[in-house]
Amino acid sequence: MRGHEQTADAIERLAAAFATARRPVAFTGAGVSTESGIPDFRSPGGVWSRFDPREFTWQNFVGSVEGRRRYWALGRVTYPLIRSAAPGAVHVALAELHRLGRLDCCITQNIDDLHQRGGLPAEAVVELHGNATRARCLSCGTGYARDALHARLEAGVDVPDCDGCGGIVKPHTILFGEALSPAAVEEARRRAGAADLFVVLGSSLVVHPAAYVPVHAKRAGATLAIVNLEPTPLDGEADLVIRAAAGPVMAAVLDAVRTASLTTQGG
Ligand SMILES: [Zn+2]
C-alpha cells in the first residue's frame, strides 16, 4: 500500500510539473512500444533469438545482396508487428498534452510511428533512430513507403531495389554500426537544452548516444523525471523517479493536468 501512496504522490508531482513548466519535453523508449504490443526484439524469446543480431549491420546491408536479403527476411517478420500496433496511453497523453500547450515535443528512440499515429504533429516528434514506415534509395534519394515495399516482399521479391535507378533502398531506421542522423541529434540536443522539464518514459537509458540526451537536459537546468519499470543509470541524478509502467502514469497525469486547466479557466 505504501508503494501505491508513494506512486500517487509522485504522479501528482509530475502532473504539477507538466502544468507549470514553460517548456516540457518527453523522451520515450522501448517500454512505450511494448505497452502498445510491439515485442521488444532484443528480449529473450524475441525475434533476435531466430536471427543473429550481429548480422544486421550497416556494413552487411550496403555491402552485399545477401546481407540485404537477410535484412528484408527479418523485416518481413517484424514490420507487420509494428504496423498492426495501436497507439497506447503514453502516445495519446503526449498528443493531448501538446494540444493543451503542455508539451514542446517528444524525443523518441522508437521507430514505430506511433507518436504521429497517436496525434502528435510530426514537427513535435524527434526520431533519434529513424522511422520504420519510410525508406529511400541510397543512390537517387527517391522515397518509398514501407507498406509498398512490404507488399513487394509479400509478392515474392526478396530484395526490393529502386524502381528508378536500381539503387539500394534502405528503411529510414538506424542499423547496428550506423551513425545517427546528425540533424536529429542536433534537434534533440537543442530541444533538450531548452527544456525546463524533461520526462523520460519507458526507457532504461542504456542505448547510447540516445541516453545522453536526458543528461544534457539535466545539465542545462531542466527538472528531470524518470518513469520506467526498471532502474536506470540516471535515477540518482533525477529529481523524480516513478518505477512503474509509463502508460497508466501518463493517463493519470493527463487527467490531473486537464482538471487543473479546467479549474484555471473556471476561476
Ligand atoms: Zn534510386
pLDDT digits (tens, 9 = 90+) for 148-198: 999 999 999 999 999 999 999 999 999 989 999 999 999 999 999 999 999
Compute the mean pLDDT over every residue in the chain, rounded to the nearest whole number.
93
More confident residue, 52 or 198: 198
Q: What's the 29 CA to ligand 1 centre distance in angstroms?
A: 32
Note the pLDDT of residue 55.
83
Q: What's the 55 CA to ligand 1 centre distance in angstroms?
A: 25
Residues with a beta carbon under 5 angstroms from ion ligand 1: 137, 139-140, 142, 162, 164-165, 167
Note the pLDDT of residue 48.
64
- Whose cell is 502516445? That residue is 91
Q: Does 42 have pLDDT greater than 70? A: no
Q: What's the 167 CA to ligand 1 centre distance in angstroms?
A: 5
On whether the CB atoms of residues 201 and 250 are closer than 8 A, the answer is: yes
Run of H or E including 256 = helix 246-266
More confident residue, 177 or 96: 96
pLDDT digits (tens, 9 = 90+) for 104-145: 999 999 999 999 999 999 999 999 999 999 999 999 999 999
Q: How far apart are CA 32 and CA 244, in angstroms?
A: 12
Note the pLDDT of residue 1.
44
Catalytic residues: 129
On whether the CB atoms of residues 102 and 199 are closer than 8 A, the answer is: no
Q: What's the 161 CA to ligand 1 centre distance in angstroms?
A: 8
Q: What are phi and psi of 182, to 5 degrees?
A: -60, -35
Grid coordinates belonging to 157: 521479391
CB-CB neighbours of 209 under 10 Å: 11
Q: How far apart are CA 98 and CA 88, in angstroms?
A: 16
Q: How far apart are CA 60 and CA 38, in angstroms?
A: 25
Note the pLDDT of residue 267.
46
Q: Is 59 left (phi over 0), alpha (psi -120 to 50) or beta?
A: alpha
Q: What's the 31 CA to ligand 1 centre distance in angstroms?
A: 35
Note the pLDDT of residue 53.
72
Closest CA to 193 of 112, 101, 105: 105
Q: How far apart are CA 8 and CA 138, in angstroms?
A: 49
C-alpha to C-alpha distances, 239 to 58, 99, 113, 207, nearest whole angstrom: 38, 26, 29, 21
pLDDT digits (tens, 9 = 90+) for 15-29: 999 999 999 999 999
On whether the CB atoms of residues 123 and 115 are closer than 8 A, the answer is: no
Q: How far apart are CA 234 and CA 249, in angstroms?
A: 19
Q: Does 266 have pLDDT greater than 60? A: no
pLDDT digits (tens, 9 = 90+) for 53-68: 778 899 999 999 999 9
Percent of the chain residues topping a pLDDT of 90: 85
